Amino acid sequence: MKRSVLTRYRTMAYVTAVMLLVLSTCMVFKYGFDTGEDVTLVVSQVHGLLYIVYLVFAFDLGQKARWPFGKLLWVLLSGTIPFAAFFVERRIAAETEPLIESDEAEPVKV
């Protein structure tokens, strides 16, 4: 597995997590203070688009790392729970890093 697969996942995990926190803040302002409806609409659409990209990258990483279905489902859903993606990303990176290092250490067969 290439390192770029993990890097893409990690980048999108952080971006999705931050956008989810921004969206949560916008929702508090929209429903708690009755302001910022237009901003909430834009942020929710951007988060939705970025979450789809996150799903693609997480699924790609899960397929290449040969995760069981339950683990893949947890990683995919972590982008919908505020703060969860930060913790899941760190654990997935720690678990996947040895797979990348073992692939890089193997010589190329001719």
d(CA 44, CA 51): 10
The angle formed by the CA atoms of residues 28, 10 and 99, to the nearest 5 degrees, is 145
**Tokens matching residue 64:** 């290449």
Q: What is the pLDDT of residue 109?
A: 61
Alpha carbon distance 110, 30 (integer Å): 61
Q: Which two tokens stand for residue 16?
A: 């999705």
For residue range 16-61, what is the model confidence (pLDDT) as tens digits?
999 999 999 999 999 999 988 899 999 999 999 999 999 999 999 9
Give pLDDT, residue 79: 82
CB atoms within 10 A of CB 31: 12
Contact 71, 7 (CB under 8 A): no
- What is the predicted pLDDT for the residue at 18? 93
Give yes or no for residue 108 having a pLDDT over 80: no
